Amino acid sequence: MQFPEKLHQKITQREVQNSLRKLGKENSLIDFSSNDYLGFAKSEIIFDKTHQYLIDNNLKINGATGSRLLSGNHALYTEIEKQLAKLHNSETSLIFNSGYDANIGFFASVPQRGDIILYDELIHASIRDGIQLSNAKSFKFKHNDITHLDEMLKRVQHDDIEIYVITESVFSMDGDSPDLVSISQIVEKHTNVLLVVDEAHALGVFGYGLIQKLQLENAVFARIITFGKGLGCHGSAILGCKQLQQYLVNFARSFIYTTGLSPHALATIKVAYNELSNCHSREKLEQNIQHFISESKRLQLHFIESASAIHCCVISGNERVKNIASQLQQKGFDVKPILSPTVPLNQERLRFCLHSYNSKEEITNVLENLATFVVS
């Protein structure tokens, strides 16, 4: 069967722009690219405890067997959703199969026709896709710009509509964070404005997330948390009030029309949360973050300001940033280039993800090599 010419042309265009995506391969390089910030994905302790939990509770089942509204709502769902709600100081939680599913489900169903969505211009692609499926009107505000957000709220506010303000607590491609306290104060002074925060890259790195660290739980209408990064497993949840949970169960299509998570996936979430409460990985990660910042300043390397586990060095041009990433990989460091169109043109970058299991020597070595390649 002949491949459609229009699709072939789009692939060719990516090749010409040096931005064609390819699937990565497993390697033995020093990890500066994965989202396994606390090392939970590699944890034999979590693996063994999850297996034992399933055996002890006679949960020898491979799959959910159906959607949660049919046959897939096994008892672990209820138990873990209650656990999540308690740990996150939320009235309820609702588990989705992934962060993408959660964002698609929420933004495609919650904002209604006539409502307004104001979103940070650098929000994740999954949120953008959900907004595109929504019947609400949407407008972006400048990245982490509190003044611009306030101006836009004054411009669009009406008594008979809801306005949803969308941001992330840690941005995945920059690693930076907004002033969440100021945003919550701005939202509070306007009527009919609801704040929604994606905490995908904050969970684990900042304990139960930045919203809780800043004690802003009551200022946020909905929090989206994901387990595939700091918790090293799979799935996600939306935290909010009971009515929001009820609404999503009835109207979020990515929740309704999909097979549920397996008991094994849910048990891993439960065990990972238990480990998060007891382990010292967060302290080690924080030490590595501070060492990375200190060393980058010593070497006069320019990174986007970040207190998270993500640190990005902007190096314009797909070809140049891919070349430097390749040189670092040849030295034994798994550092990935982030290319346009994933990020805007001329904002291509090297993205360093830090982990509790990175050593200070590895961090110093990779930055010293980067300094050499950037200068050359």
3-class DSSP string for 62-115: CCCCCCCCCCCCCHHHHHHHHHHHHHCCCCEEEEECCHHHHHHHHHHHCCCCCC
CB atoms within 10 A of CB 80: 20
Identify the bridge partners of residue 205 per DSSP, sorted by sequence position.
none
Contact 209, 203 (CB under 8 A): yes
Cα dist from 363 to 36, 173, 321, 327, whole Å: 16, 20, 19, 16
Using one digit for the tens of pLDDT, what is the confidence trace for 21-49?
Answer: 888 888 899 999 999 999 999 999 999 99
Instruction: Mention every residue, 6+ apart, whose C-beta is less than 8 A from residue 68.
Output: 77, 255, 260
| Radius of gyration (C-alpha) of the chain in whole angstroms | 21
Q: Is cis: bond before 337, omega within 30 of 0?
A: no
pLDDT on residue 375? 56
pTM for this model (two decimals) = 0.94
pLDDT at 360: 97
Question: Among all chains, which residue has been given the structure tokens 């990890």?
Answer: 31
The 10s digit of each residue's pLDDT in 193-205 is 999 999 999 999 9
Which domains, and CATH codes, for the chain? Answer: 25-42+280-375 (3.90.1150.10), 61-277 (3.40.640.10)
Task: Classify residue 58 as left (phi > 0), alpha (psi -120 to 50) or beta.
Answer: left
Select from 331, 357, 373 the least CA-distant residue to 31.
Answer: 357
Q: Is 194 helix (H, G, I), strand (E, B) or coil?
A: strand
Q: What is the largest CA-CA distance in the chain?
A: 60
Which residues of the chain, if any, have pLDDT below 50? 376
Question: For residue 19, what pLDDT is reported?
Answer: 82
Distances, alpha carbon 272 to alpha carbons 42, 49, 84, 308, in Å:
12, 9, 12, 20
